[in-house]
Amino acid sequence: MNIFQENYQKPDLNYSLNYGFLFPWQFPQNNGQDNCCLEVKAEEGAYSFYLNRTILEKIAQLKLQGISLDIPRGLLLNFWYYSIFDSLVNRDENYDKSANIYQHPQLSVLIYFFLVKTWKTLTSRNRNKTIKFQSGFTFNSYYQSTENQHFDNLNIMMQSTILFDGDIIQKISQDLINNGDASSIVNSHYWLIEQVTKCLRSNLNSVYWFVSAIFPAAVITWKISSGMSLWLSILISTLGWIIIFLVLGILSLLIISQLKKLVVRIKNKSVDKFIEPVISWLVWVGTNLVISINVFSRDSVLLIANSLFMLLLPNLLKYFLPKAGKYLFKFFMK
Amino acid sequence: MLAKDSNSLESQPNQGTAGRAKDLLGKFVDTVGVIVRDITSLEVNTIVVSNISGSKFNPWQSYYNIYAISQPNYFASKNIVSELEDRYINIFLQLEREYIYTLLIKELESPSPKARVVQEYRSRLQYIDENRLNSDSTKASQIVLPSPFDQESQVENYQKIAELVTDDKFVLTLRKVSEMKAALDGGDVASENVDTIYAQTIIQLDGDIITRYHRDLFGLKESDKDLIMKVHNDGVVSGEKQWREVIDFLINFIKGIAS
């Protein structure tokens, strides 16, 4: 065997979690303009932007107007997950081969995926599989100069590696220097990274939502393993709550996205910041009223009480869930 | 850090889910702590390469590939010209240096540090400073990093490497040097004409900013030079901002839990 092959001998491994996701990043629409959508590929700690001329123009415009973007929720989720975990250290021999890429995953799929992944990490019995944390992020920009170029054949034009200890490496390819759009590609590349990192921090409170969704699983096993039967009932109710919560959440997300599309079609412009929370709230009320009426239709007092409770619940949850997430966290660290 | 990791591995052979979860969170806080404590400067490097590799960072593989540099015949088998050898050797020695620092700290923090051992590490560090590899048979010329190629003590060495690739500080160095190696590999190694770090800016915490440009930059076409300068200058501004956002996120995340 030639030891100088760019390959390494693996120790004992039988574990593969090599996944990637492709997210569509919708840019706000202007009147009479085509839909503009950027594809972002997210893998463990590595993010790739697939640029083309339309996107470059759009970004230049947005930059000029000083508009910042909301990044897709799925991407944000991915970002949070991988700013903390780097997956397992020991890897599959196929590591460098292309990952399984899931196109345009639903948020619920991602939540499920990360839950399973965290679960596997926590319950892994193999001592060799140590958990490691992320050491940095890599951002790649690909550029499609002509429309008939396939994504797979593109070369990376620019790569930024941001290591957490303060080392930043910007690589630019010779192709970029020879490209006529070089300057716009550079601008877009930096602008997109900025949008992503900005969102990471400004949505900090929602991280606790995410964390609090992940950690009940650990709490449950913890309590089961300590063999208390009292916890069994709590376990069942917690599980029930999680399932109900997820189902309701996914249902409302689905309805919200449909409603948004409808509003866009009617008003012919993007949903503004004011209408969005109104829609989410209305949907929440709608779904819950249906449930309340079905469950409590015989008792009018309970029906009204429950409906009122449901109306207030989103605000209560908004207040309490981040706190609950925090306490769960503290609980672990003691 | 290293000592702590090995302890936790030994003392909890059958730790359960809860133990792992607890361990995980504790380690996460440690990691951020280590990173934040050791920052003295921010360094932005701008490199022009003929081919950017999109493969993700894998500590095991990077370690293997960097260790390979120290093997006899490495340069011949890869057709690397002699002008580049020093730069490859330097990459390997940077990693070795980081490892010796870890060992040195471990030794000094142990209950009874041995002067002999410390002296050995010191002489090895001095040797490394001369950027030489295996040129004589003295003790100082011997490589300290555990070898993944050694057939005899393979298990033992793999255990050591496994420990290393979970050490946050070591991994950061490993990642940086493997980026540098990738930049070297990305060029035409058979010719002298290699990818160069055209610009480097170091922002020190006390406020000093140092920017260095490679001499070759000024020999380029005017438009190319301007583009590289732009990439670098924008990269410094935006890189600093992005890095701060990420660190802010990590710190606030922990602060949020603690408050």
Tokens representing A159 are: 């790569």
**Which residues of chain B make contact with A133, given a CB cutoff of 8 A?**
27-28, 31, 168
Distance of residue A309 Cα from the nearest chain B Cα, in angstroms: 28
Q: What kind and span of H or E run contains B233?
A: helix B222-258
- Find, among A328, A9, A60, A14, the residue nearest to A190 by Cα: A60
Q: Which chain B residue has the Cα nearest residue A185?
A: B231
Q: Do B61 and A95 touch (CB under 8 A)?
A: yes
Q: B183 at the A interface (CB within 8 A)?
A: yes
Q: Which chain A residue has the Cα nearest residue B234?
A: A190
**CA A255-A260-A266 angle, 5° bins:** 125
Q: Do A204 and B43 touch (CB under 8 A)?
A: no
Task: Give which of A76, A171, A187 to mutate to test B binding, by max B Cβ within 10 Å.
Answer: A171
Q: Which chain A residue has the Cα nearest residue B72?
A: A4
Task: Give which of A17, A44, A170, A185 to mutate to test B binding, by max B Cβ within 10 Å.
Answer: A170
Task: Give which of B2, B60, B151, B197 to mutate to test A binding, by max A Cβ within 10 Å.
Answer: B60
Tens-digit pLDDT profile for residues A134-179: 778 889 999 888 777 776 678 889 999 888 888 888 988 888 888 8
The whole-model pTM stands at 0.69
* CB nearest A172 (choices: B60, B171, B231): B231
State the pairing for strand pair A85-88/A46-52: unpaired
Q: B144 at the A interface (CB within 8 A)?
A: no
* CB nearest A133 (choices: B31, B54, B58): B31
Q: Do B256 and A182 touch (CB under 8 A)?
A: no
* CB nearest B35 (choices: A3, A7, A164): A164
* CB nearest B165 (choices: A89, A186, A200): A89
Tokens representing B233 are: 């200058």
- Kindly tell me if the per-residue pLDDT of B27 is higher than 60: yes
Over residues A46-55, mean pLDDT: 88
What spatial distance separates the first Cα and last Cα of chain A, rounded to whole Å? Answer: 50
Tokens representing B157 are: 């060495």
Helix, coil or strand: residue A165: coil
Integer CA distances (angstroms), B106 to A35, B19, B23, B111, B144, in order = 58, 26, 21, 10, 15
Check: CB of residue B59 under 8 Å from CB of residue A89. Answer: yes
Q: Which chain A residue has the Cα nearest residue B54?
A: A156
DSSP B130: T
Over residues A70-90, mean pLDDT: 69
- CA dist B169 and A269 (Å) reads 49
Task: Give which of A100, A134, A165, A219 to mutate to test B binding, by max B Cβ within 10 Å.
Answer: A165
- CA dist B80 and A265 (Å) reads 61
Q: How many CB atoms neighbour CB B139 within 10 A?
A: 9
Integer CA distances (angstroms), A193 to A104, A200, B138, B201, in order = 20, 11, 49, 20
* CB nearest A177 (choices: B158, B224, B238): B224
* CB nearest A168 (choices: B57, B78, B239): B239
- CA dist A41 and A297 (Å) reads 48
Over residues B7-17, mean pLDDT: 44
Side chain identity at residue B25, one-letter code: L
- CA dist A242 and A111 (Å) reads 12
Q: Cβ contacts of residue B1 below 8 Å, gap of 6+?
A: B30, B34, B102, B167, B168, B169
**Which residues of chain B make contact with A158, given a CB cutoff of 8 A?**
52, 231
Distance of residue A17 Cα from the nearest chain B Cα, in angstroms: 13
Measured over the CA atoms of residue A125, residue A130, residue A133 and residue A138, the dihedral's sign is negative
Match 């293997």 to its residue by tokens. B64
Of A98-107, A128-137, B9-18, B59-68, the range with the lowest mean pLDDT is B9-18
Integer CA distances (angstroms), A180 to A132, A177, A192, B171, B227, in order = 41, 8, 20, 38, 11
Most confident of A67-71, A198-202, A232-236, A329-333: A67-71
Report percent pLDDT > 90 for chain A.
5
**Which residues of chain A make contact with B196, given a CB cutoff of 8 A?**
none
**Which residues of chain B make contact with A17, given a CB cutoff of 8 A?**
none
Tokens representing A164 are: 């957490």
Q: B101 at the A interface (CB within 8 A)?
A: no
Burial pattern B151-176, b for ≥16 Cβ within 10 A else e, equals eeeeeebbbbbbbbbbbbbbbbbbbb
- CA dist B147 and B70 (Å) reads 10
**Which residues of chain B make contact with A194, given a CB cutoff of 8 A?**
238, 241-242
Tens-digit pLDDT profile for residues A82-103: 776 665 444 444 444 445 667 7
Match 């100082």 to its residue by tokens. B140
**Which residues of chain A make contact with B9, given a CB cutoff of 8 A?**
127, 130
Of A234-248, B5-19, B61-75, the range with the lowest mean pLDDT is B5-19
Match 């660290």 to its residue by tokens. A333
Tens-digit pLDDT profile for residues B192-232: 555 567 888 888 877 788 888 888 888 888 888 888 889 89
Check: CB of residue A6 under 8 Å from CB of residue A96. Answer: no
More confident residue, A183 or B27: A183
Domain boundaries, chain B: 1-10+54-194, 196-259
Reported as half-sphere exposure (CB side, CA atoms, 13 A), residue A139 has a value of: 26
Tokens representing A333 are: 């660290």
Check: CB of residue B232 under 8 Å from CB of residue B199. Answer: yes
Instruction: Please state at what angle helix A182-202 crosses helix A53-65, rounded to 10 degrees.
Output: 60
- CA dist A60 and A63 (Å) reads 5
- CA dist A258 and B114 (Å) reads 70
Q: B194 at the A interface (CB within 8 A)?
A: no
Q: B254 at the A interface (CB within 8 A)?
A: no
- Find, among A139, A168, A171, the residue nearest to B231 by Cα: A171
The distance between the two most distant Cα atoms of chain A, rounded to a whole number of Å, is 79
- CA dist A192 and A139 (Å) reads 9
Check: CB of residue B157 under 8 Å from CB of residue B174. Answer: no
How confident is the model at residue A190, as a pLDDT? Answer: 92
More confident residue, B17 or A71: A71
How confident is the model at residue A186, as a pLDDT? Answer: 92
Over residues B63-73, mean pLDDT: 86
Integer CA distances (angstroms), A120 to A95, A274, B21, B100, in order = 18, 41, 11, 34
